[in-house]
Amino acid sequence: MAAISLRKGNTRLPPEVNRVLYVRNLPFNISSEEMYDIFGKYGAIRQIRIGTNKDTRGTAFVVYEDIYDAKTAVDHLSGFNVANRYLIVLY
């Protein structure tokens, strides 16, 4: 518990930081399981929504339980290579 309070103590995050991440440039055939494997390394995930129609393929929304986990995921996964595609991860 002390580690959590230290992590979240007086740390102020920029206003654009959000629990909901928008991911672009995904492979069109990526599965939910693969998304959970990639993004789950950085914290508990509440929901992943992968675009399935012609206009939204290659995109997804990832919702984290904790805002600090979402920030860590953005910091580590922006530019991450998945199937020779570099992810664009935004708030």
* DSSP state for residue 4 in the 8-state scheme: H
Q: Looking at the domain assignment, is residue 76 inside a domain?
A: yes
Q: Looking at the domain assignment, is residue 3 inside a domain?
A: no
Specify the pLDDT at position 17. 86
CATH number of the domain to which 45 belongs: 3.30.70.330
The residue range of the domain holding 56 is 16-90
Specify the pLDDT at position 14. 82
Report how far apart the first and last C-alpha atoms of the chain are (Å, whole number): 27
**Under 8 Å between Cβ of 42 and 69:** yes
User: Across the 91 residues of the chain, what is the mean pLDDT of every consecutive 10-residue run?
Assistant: 47 85 98 98 98 96 97 98 98 92
Q: Looking at the domain assignment, is residue 35 inside a domain?
A: yes
Q: Looking at the domain assignment, is residue 62 inside a domain?
A: yes
Specify the pLDDT at position 3. 41
Q: Looking at the domain assignment, is residue 8 inside a domain?
A: no
* DSSP state for residue 91 in the 8-state scheme: -
Q: Looking at the domain assignment, is residue 83 inside a domain?
A: yes
Q: Looking at the domain assignment, is residue 79 inside a domain?
A: yes
The structural domain count of the chain equals 1
Predicted model pTM: 0.84
**Under 8 Å between Cβ of 78 and 88:** yes
